[in-house]
Amino acid sequence: MRFANKVAVITGAARGIGRACAERFLGEGAKVVLGDIDAEHLKETAAAIGAPDNVLAVVTDVGKKEQVVALIDAAVKKFGRIDIMVNNAGIAPVQDFLEISEADYDRVLAVNLKGTFMGTQAAGRRMIAQGHGGVIVNMSSINSGLANPRVATYANSKGGMNQVTGTAAVAFAPHGIRVVGV
């Protein structure tokens, strides 16, 4: 049980990669906190993956700082700590470059870039206060370095997210907190 006595918070955890991460952490002994904007799938995932004593589901819009902070606070309130943060929430609309509206652009950056920044910042603050290190994992993409005009907003957000990851890694290293991109 690699993660016994550890608490992992995962955004975008209702489906896909986020749910798979939650299942794996739970299977390795961690307590998991699932954050997602999709309340219906979040509830289904929480019920399907584990016992209520080890799983907490919190409806979270990662594009809103106060909700990201509330997610971290809920994890600490229920489980007493946070050891791992997985910033997985993301959206990738396929659109013609010239058809992307300002609202489309803002929405993708709010979820993918701002959400990662806020999650990294909130988790980092809590881990520093706890004083026992931790790890923050930010889900990147090969598209962060590719010029694909059909996913321009996604590529922009993931390129920026790579910078969030690098700068946070340097900022948090003195506190024993690793920040990595996958």
Catalytic residue among 25, 79, 117, 154: 154
Across 70-95, b (16+ Cβ under 10 Å) vs e yields bbbebbbeebeebbbbbbbbbbbeeb
Largest CA distance in the chain: 50
CB 136 within 8 A of CB 124: yes
Active-site residue, 154 included: yes
Active site residues: 154
